[in-house]
Chain A
Amino acid sequence: DAGITQSPRHKVTETGTPVTLRCHQTENHRYMYWYRQDPGHGLRLIHYSYGVKDTDKGEVSDGYSVSRSKTEDFLLTLESATSSQTSVYFCAISETGRYGYTFGSGTRLTVV
């Protein structure tokens, strides 16, 4: 989507390896979010950020960490990937929230 990019778009990794997903925005929005999408569960919040170096946990944060050292970048790290973390990961940005989010294109992560 315009103003927000995720990388990589697809990734296959082995169990136990570290993985980092990147979200980059050019909108200068304050809020950034990481969600995972699984069949039947919709999108569930992993972590979010409300400013540089300000982050908080979502409902499914176990096994994930995040960092935001610049307004434009929000990194999601799986310290030791497990098969249960196979999912599609979405980054989103928001300013006031009144108008919802703008989403990235998603990253399909497969842990084998």
Chain B
Amino acid sequence: AQTVTQSQPEMSVQEAETVTLSCTYDTSESDYYLFWYKQPPSRQMILVIRQEAYKQQNATENRFSVNFQKAAKSFSLKISDSQLGDAAMYFCAYRTDFKAAGNKLTFGGGTRVLVKP
């Protein structure tokens, strides 16, 4: 079974600065998808960014970008120009491309991001 590890329980960043969240995963598969979800205090789960494993180019969504290192099984999230609204829990997630697996997502334990004004 795949596992996803987020080694940083909490990260603090100054407003307008940059913070990088770490995520590593364990898999023997070559085709899969990776995601970062944001969970603000409202509890809603919001998709931030996704990456297909077959794509070498790192995904970018506005101030959010990833550093995908397939060989190292690493998928870090960089938040640039941090804003107060970025304060939330962030979850890394893995999904196999194997259709019979039910499209199940496996989540890491989460990293809480605090943004200081």
Contact = CB atoms under 8 A, between A and B. Distances in A.
Interface of A: 1, 31, 33, 35, 40-45, 48, 50, 56, 58-59, 88, 90, 92, 94, 96-101, 103, 105-106
Contacts, number: 60
Contacts of A58: 104
Interface size class of B (residues with CB under 8 A): 20 to 34
A44 B91 CA distance: 12
A89 B52 CA distance: 28
Interface of B: 1, 4, 6, 9, 33, 35, 37, 43-45, 47, 50, 52, 91, 93, 95, 102-110
A37 to B, nearest CB: 8
Given A98-B33, A100-B50, A31 B45 contact: no
A100 B93 contact: yes
B38 to A, nearest CB: 11
Given A43-B105, A100-B35, A100-B93, 8 more contacts: A41-B109, A42-B91, A42-B110, A50-B102, A98-B33, A100-B105, A101-B45, A101-B105
